[in-house]
Amino acid sequence: MSESTTYSGAPMWQPSMTASGDGRGNRGKPDWTDIGFFLLLAGGAAYALFALGDSMDYYEKLILCGAVGVLSWMAWLWRPLRTLMLASGLTALFAIWLYSGGQGLQQGDLSRAETVFFLKYLFSSQSAVLWMCSLFVLAMVCYWIGFVSNTAAWLGTVLTWSAVYAGTTGMLVRWREGHLLGPDIGHIPVSNLYEVFVLFSLITALFYLYYERRYATRALGGFVLMVISSAVVFLLWYSFTRDAFQIQPLVPALKSWWMKLHVPANFIGYGTFSLAAMVGFAYLVKEHGETRSRAKLIPLFLLGAILCAEPMIFGSREFSPTWMIYFGIGAIVVGTILTFRGTIAARLPSLQVLDDIMYRAIAIGFAFFTVATILGALWAADAWGTYWQWDPKETWALIVWLNYAAWLHMRLMKGLRGNMAAYWALGGLLITSFAFLGVNMFLSGLHSYGEL
């Protein structure tokens, strides 16, 4: 289906093409800026190899060199990524320089995070992540106000990009902070629940921003930012009740270069599956808003309420006041969306567009989740001597994979569309969430690195 098609209820624009790509930042022919960006990344990698090569093994050096090509390719495919990487990279270098007191990038004192203004309030990893959390919540509010104000919707996009910038900066700085604690403590920040919740939020937001620009609609922002805001609420609760933001040494099983590949691929799957679920929710709201059917709203409300209750169920073995309040607010939000479904439906893209985004997100997520599962099996063979042990995390990863494999099979072979596809995508979020978080809460096994 062509992007230039005008869908009913969702006019699509097609800006004039230029040599460097279309007006939405999509790929065009590589130009000198793409070459310059590649050379910049290559120069940074060369410096890292020269300065830190002794602390890397052979595979880590290969991953670093491969990342140059992958990041350059991604920045060419979608040029706003280049701006994000440059802005976050330069800010992270500035923060590292502040930690060093101007004595060089390889020096540093973590105590400066309490005395240097920019570190204390903006660019230390904890400050940057807190800014990310605040901006995501504000973005969600602006997107919902955007149903009656285009300016608010635009501000939602700006705040979402700002949140991604803050979170990416925070993760880069956290990587350096770990090394400042000690040579055996520093590691890529994707090793525990705190770090992967930040990663999940960033990946989900970036994929949403891509589709927002590709389909020229901001109407889905409020839906997608709801699942990101839920992750933010859990992240804040987990951080301040368990001191999860503290950087801890890796357990022996995680001291492997496999982690640098397996975890990001896994969370691209989790992020796109979550995005597809919220687009499925929007699809159902759109359809029920057009038909004005009340009977069909019962399963939708129940499913939405269950999804709102997930953090309460997974967040604590007891029904704490925090999660009881969260569940109540979540149920009210779902009920309000369904009450005003007619107004919301009129601003949402057409059912065809929503169905297409849902399919694309699941297809991308399934591809990366498949790669992550294969990488996980290879990592297990390297660490434990066997590819598969039916560990709870492995079992639920297989359940997630089978769920979306079945969804794609039914779509491609049987033409799955409409209500069934949307409900299935939305219900898939329950399965994905249990594999992501519920296993850590209720089950134990070889993968219990982020217990609650």
- Give the integer Cα–Cα distance in Å for 133 and 140: 11
- Mean pLDDT, residues 162-177 taken together: 96
Q: Is the pLDDT of residue 226 over 50?
A: yes
Structure tokens at 77: 């495919």
Q: Is the pLDDT of residue 258 over 50?
A: yes
Q: What is the pLDDT of residue 310?
A: 54
Contact status, residue 267 vs residue 205, Cβ threshold 8 Å: no
User: For residue range 289-304, what is the model confidence (pLDDT) as tens digits?
Assistant: 876 655 455 566 666 6
- Mean pLDDT, residues 144-161 taken together: 95
Q: What is the pLDDT of residue 305?
A: 59
Q: Is the pLDDT of residue 83 over 60?
A: yes
b or e along 362-381 (b: 16 or more beta carbons within 10 Å of the residue's beta carbon)? bbbbbebbebbbebbbebbe
pLDDT-based confidence at 9, cuts 50/70/90? very low
Q: What is the DSSP string of 231-280?
A: HHHHHHHHHHHHTTTS--PPPGGG-STTHHHHHHHHHHHHHHHHHHHHHH
Mean pLDDT, the chain, rounded, equals: 85
User: For residue range 383-419, what is the model confidence (pLDDT) as tens digits?
Assistant: 778 888 888 888 999 999 999 999 999 999 999 998 8
Structure tokens at 85: 């990487």
* Long-range contact pairs involving 85-94 (C-beta distance under 8 Å, separation at least 24): 85/168, 86/37, 87/165, 88/165, 88/168, 88/169, 88/172, 89/44, 89/172, 91/123, 91/165, 91/169, 92/123, 92/169, 92/172, 92/173, 92/176, 94/118, 94/123
Contact status, residue 111 vs residue 101, Cβ threshold 8 Å: no
pLDDT-based confidence at 51, cuts 50/70/90? confident
Q: What is the pLDDT of residue 301?
A: 60
pLDDT-based confidence at 164, cuts 50/70/90? very high
In sequence order, the 6+-apart residues with CB closer than 8 A to the CB of 402 are: none
Lowest mean pLDDT among 26-30, 41-45, 92-96, 158-162: 26-30
Q: Is the pLDDT of residue 231 over 80?
A: yes
Q: What is the pLDDT of residue 408?
A: 97
